[in-house]
Chains A and B, each alone.
Chain A
Amino acid sequence: MSTVKIPPVLRAQTGGEAELQTCGATVGDILRSLAEAHPGTRSQLFSEGGELNRYVNVYLNDEDVRVLDGLDTTVSESDTVVILPAMAGGQASLR
């Protein structure tokens, strides 16, 4: 089992969980199994063609998977996968 860190914007889809234990041999497997267990996350992680959405950054431990093998990056049990969308909050006024 590898650890997946869920960003705040996706926690509504994971029942409030900030960290999940997920099985998978690659980053893609892990994210797909996350989307299977929590279907609300699917459209936010993947495009209709099954590609990782460009606005979602995924890190294996501290390394961006874009500089590794993307979704094919192999994951071992002790690894942590971090899902990280951009945030713009600062001033926090409603508009």
Chain B
Amino acid sequence: MATAAESIEQIKQRIDLIASRKAREEVEAGAKLIDVREPHEWDEAHLEGAVHVPQAELLDRISEVAPDRFERIVLYCRTDNRSSRAADALQDLGYENVAVMRGGIVDWQENGLPVVAAQGLSPEQRMRYSRHTLLPEVGVEGQVKLLNSKVLLIGAGGLGAPSAFYLAAAGVGTIGIVDDDVVDETNLQRQIIHTTDRVGMPKTASAKASIEALNPDVKVVEHRTRMNAENILDIIADYDVLLDGADNFPTRYLLNDASVRLRKPVVSASILAFDGQISTFVPYEGPCYRCLYPVPPPPEMAPSCGAAGVLGVMAGIMGMLQANEVIKLVAGIGEPLIDRLLLYDSLGTRFTELKVKRDPDCPVCGDSAPEIPESEMGKFPDYEAFCAGEPVLRS
């Protein structure tokens, strides 16, 4: 009879400890496999074919689980301490054919044997994303949401490059990238997903190579094209969240109008010199891009980074804030930047938060904005002309 003072080593001397591979053979031959760990451990991962009876309940439930006291029973726990105590107690009850799997599920997994992972996470994924799943706000459930999510990056440039890296590392299951450009030497100061030896390569292909090297869980979809009124609805339709890192106003307005039509959230950021802006536009929950900026500025008020320069780390800072917003939207946690515009001034190291309201007169998402009939879906005004100062209104 085991006593509290008796050491686990003493108990183990009278237990039949078997190796994990032997345990597997015995289970395949018909032995009864019982997992005596706690429910949360079982939920995370367990062996196929096992019955779950936590150690504290085992003596009460054994006659129901294994009515035949001569039946071969294999117990396991995380290592083999709890299962050895449980086996000892079963032997005292008259169970004569009890074994314990040495090293438990830890040893089993170290031997590369399969487990049934909780809610769709493989053993490799549980290791890879363990620092996520440890967070109660994310957990296995949030990680599964990320793995099932589809995020579209508009541009694999300054903002798209760093956010693509972190979204890939976070396990976003599908990352689409729209870009028709090739990697240029001047990109490398901030577009860290590209490398020196890939100058001249399409940015979508370069980003894909980096993402796949980082995380094989991620499926990368290349859209090697420029978004326009004809293709935008087809491109964005399959995605859950859109990340706007476009370098020009026609694309930003086009993306806004299409995303409002299809009710897709857009995490929008822009950078110039030492300054950045970011906001999250969730159609009809908060303002859209047009509520914030009803019309684009004239060209002299809207220089590009190519003309005005940009501090490389600004791409990282604002791209990271975008990735953070995307992850929150996908996992359904926290407080997204809806109704708020966040400015960052890197020279002063200052954040400024401004309120943004839905404009009831917004031509796209306002109260009196016309419903778009099915036949009009996908038809857009000429955005290039619109942004060159000749607005062409929706007919």
Q: In the assembled complex, how far is the CB of residue A9 from the closest CB belonging to chain B, in whole angstroms? A: 5
A57 near B292 (CB under 8 angstroms)? Answer: yes
**Residue-wise interface mask of B (244-275) relative to A, using a CB-CB cutoff of 8 A (1 in contact, 0 not):** 11111100100000000000000001111111
Asked if B277 is at the interface of the complex by the 8 Å CB criterion, the answer is: yes
Asked if A7 is at the interface of the complex by the 8 Å CB criterion, the answer is: yes
Q: How many residues of B contact A (CB 8 A)?
A: 54
User: Quick one: which of A70-95 are within 8 Å of B by CB?
Assistant: 82, 84-95
A92 near B304 (CB under 8 angstroms)? Answer: yes
A91 near B160 (CB under 8 angstroms)? Answer: yes
B302 near A88 (CB under 8 angstroms)? Answer: yes
Chain B residues with CB below 8 A from A86, complex form: 249, 252, 270, 292-293, 296-297, 302
Asked if B238 is at the interface of the complex by the 8 Å CB criterion, the answer is: no
A contact residues, range? 20 to 34
Chain A residues with CB below 8 A from B34, complex form: none
Provided the pairs A87-B270, A92-B157 are in contact, do residues A59 and B184 lie with their beta carbons within 8 angstroms? no
Chain A residues with CB below 8 A from B300, complex form: 44
Q: In the assembled complex, how far is the CB of residue B202 from the closest CB belonging to chain A, in whole angstroms? A: 13
Q: In the assembled complex, how far is the CB of residue B71 from the closest CB belonging to chain A, in whole angstroms? A: 66
Given B158, B292, B303, B343, which contacts A91 in the complex, CB threshold below 8 Å?
B158
Asked if B385 is at the interface of the complex by the 8 Å CB criterion, the answer is: no
Chain B residues with CB below 8 A from A8, complex form: 272-275, 308
B247 near A18 (CB under 8 angstroms)? Answer: no
CA distance A18 to B275 in the complex (A): 11
Provided the pairs A54-B294, A55-B293, A55-B301 are in contact, do residues A91 and B179 lie with their beta carbons within 8 angstroms? yes
Q: List 23 A-B contacts (CB under 8 A).
A: A8-B272, A8-B273, A9-B272, A9-B297, A44-B300, A55-B293, A56-B297, A84-B343, A86-B252, A86-B292, A87-B271, A87-B302, A88-B247, A88-B248, A89-B247, A89-B305, A90-B269, A90-B270, A92-B157, A92-B158, A92-B306, A93-B187, A95-B248
